[in-house]
Amino acid sequence: MNIYTMLPILLLMLSTALADNCSYIYDGMQYTRTSILTIKGLPTNLVFNPNNKDLHFTLIDLESLQNDDVQTKMDQYILRNGEPIKIDDVNGQAAAVDVKNDRVYIGTDDGLTLLNKTDKANFVSLKDEDIVQVFKPNHGDDLYVVVFPNNEVFKINLKKNEKRRVQYVPCAFIIAVDADDNIFYECDSKYVKVLLKGFHEPIEFVGIAKNAARAIAIEDNHRVVLAANDGLYHLKSDNLIPKKLMNLDFVPAGIAFDDDDFFVSTNGIVYKYSNDECEE
């Protein structure tokens, strides 16, 4: 068999391999999936920095998580150029990227820190506060923090260094704030809700099972996306029924977006989904 006879066969094999690799469907579009990190533990609280392409995450030690007699061990990491970099001398629990001012905040068990250019976390505010979640919307100067043990939500004005309790959000285990300052959250491992700006009573989304929510993130086009046990959902502030964007064959622990690409983590793995190689 000469090269001219083999060429159609090779093209068919390539096309078939590409189709198989593009078998992941997100919002009606084909995506590939690659494992960009394997690591012992549970990588969670993913957040992407578009300024330098770093992916921040918290690594939870599962053995300590399952042991009620010891404090859960959590470390803060940066995934840079395919390599995990541990942030030393800090018990990090979440990160938030201030895209406009090119800053990265780390919530720790002893206050709020700011990451410097050498990847060291320097204390900036909220001394002695045990911060378990941090979220920075791309608009405005406010940073949202969730403080243990009651998981109360506070809004920090970064310019004035003022802290005030967010009313009508009783607690939050996961949180995201959209471009209209609507607050999406899950409280006490129950149901996902949204508190619309200017309102007092949060609204509960239907169709998401109790204890199923794992992470919330905002796409670059401002869509709010929930990672739940069975897949990814688009949460809209004007619709109580979420739109399912993708099925998942694993339980997610974190989600973050980079333009059309996105990252989803689970036990021991961080996946990257991309449609660059997929035919439209």
pLDDT of the residue at 133: 97
In a domain, 46, yes or no: yes
In a domain, 20, yes or no: no
In a domain, 24, yes or no: no
In a domain, 4, yes or no: no
In a domain, 234, yes or no: yes
In a domain, 242, yes or no: yes
Domain span at residue 174 reads 30-271
pLDDT of the residue at 73: 86
Domain count, the chain: 1
Please give the structure tokens belonging to residue 212: 């199923």
In a domain, 68, yes or no: yes
pLDDT in tens, 223-276: 999 999 999 999 999 999 999 999 999 999 999 999 999 999 999 999 999 999
pLDDT of the residue at 280: 60
SS3 assignment, position 11: helix
Which residues face 269 on adjacent strands?
38, 266
Phi-psi label, residue 41: left if phi above 0, alpha if psi -120 to 50, beta otherwise: left
CA distances from 137 to 47, 141, 222 (A): 12, 8, 10
SS3 assignment, position 212: coil
Residue ranges in the chain whose pLDDT is less than 50: 2-19
**Beta strands of 10-73 (E only): which ranges?**
24-26, 29-38, 42-49, 54-60
CATH number, position 109: 2.120.10.30
pLDDT of the residue at 19: 42
In a domain, 278, yes or no: no
pLDDT of the residue at 185: 98
Helices assigned H by DSSP within 160-267 = none
CA-closest candidate to residue 252, choices 276, 222, 273: 273
The share of the chain scoring above pLDDT 90, in percent, equals: 81
142-148 and 152-157 beta bridge pairing: antiparallel
Phi-psi label, residue 268: left if phi above 0, alpha if psi -120 to 50, beta otherwise: left
